[in-house]
Structure 1
Amino acid sequence: MGVPERTPGALHKSDRASGLSKRSRRVPTRAEAKLWKGLRRLEIQDTHFRRQAPIGTYVVDFICHSARLIIEVDGGVHALDQVALRDFERETWLKGRGYRVLRVSNDEVMSDITSVLERIVAALSADTPTPTPPRKGEGL
């Protein structure tokens, strides 16, 4: 028997993403460290956040699988066109797998962590609609 093929776009971890996530957990940015401290204090039932988690070929800053919520902490580099394009492609891939992506800036985290945590709590509380497949004969 050969090695089973991986489904394109599956949520498996890539070796590269796993290595990047381990390095990123060891040396977080100041904003990521501050947000992680705040997330760990949240007491919301059935939520568990992971930091610097590999998902597919990507590494996301924070993820709550049960709520299908990803939080990305963005520095100034994310305003550059080519980085914004990569962010868009990445977000499209993640959304295609049923995840919501909440982006916050480093500045927001550092200057007003309370508001950032309130936005996260609101996102966790929001209903996550499950896509309804088209009926037979409808759609593409």
Structure 2
Amino acid sequence: MFNNLSDRATKNFAKKLRRAMTKQEKHLWYDFLQKYRCKWYKQKPIGKYITDFYCGHVKLIVELYGSQH
């Protein structure tokens, strides 16, 4: 699996991505997911990947594609 250093680096990178959301990510988060009844997470690290949005209750990942990907 991954060592603690790469896990820490992934988590730190996810924090940076949360602070620098794209226009489309902000729109989806502030206009819908933030207020949705299930708990959603922004830029959630899962293994070596970072998802755009994640809901553990329904086991759903939402990825937005654009020029940044």
TM-score higher than 0.5 here?
yes
CA RMSD of aligned residues (A): 2.0
* Counterpart in the other structure of 1:71: 62
How far residue 17 of structure 1 moved from its aligned partner, in angstroms, is 1.4
Q: Give the gaps of 5 or more residues in structure 1.
A: 1-7, 79-140
Any runs of at least 4 consecutive aligned residues in structure 1 with deviations exceeding 6 A, and if so which?
none
Query: Whose radius of gyration is greater, 1 or 2?
Result: 1
* Counterpart in the other structure of 2:29: 36
Secondary structure of 1:74's aligned partner: coil
How far residue 14 of structure 1 moved from its aligned partner, in angstroms, is 1.4
How far residue 30 of structure 1 moved from its aligned partner, in angstroms, is 0.3
Q: Give the gaps of 5 or more residues in structure 2.
A: none
For the residues of structure 2 that align with 1:71 and 1:63, how far apart are their CA atoms? 6
* Alignment: residue pair count: 65
Q: 1:11-90 residue pairs with structure 2 within 5 A?
A: 14-37=7-30, 38-42=32-36, 44=37, 47-76=38-67
Secondary structure of 2:45's aligned partner: strand
For 1:23, the aligned partner's letter is K
Give the structure with the higher percent helix.
1
> What TM-score do the two structures reach when normalised by structure 2?
0.80
Deviation digits for residues 39-76 of structure 1 (CA, Å, limit 9, x no counterpart): 1122x3xx210001111111100000111100001104
| Identity value in percent | 32
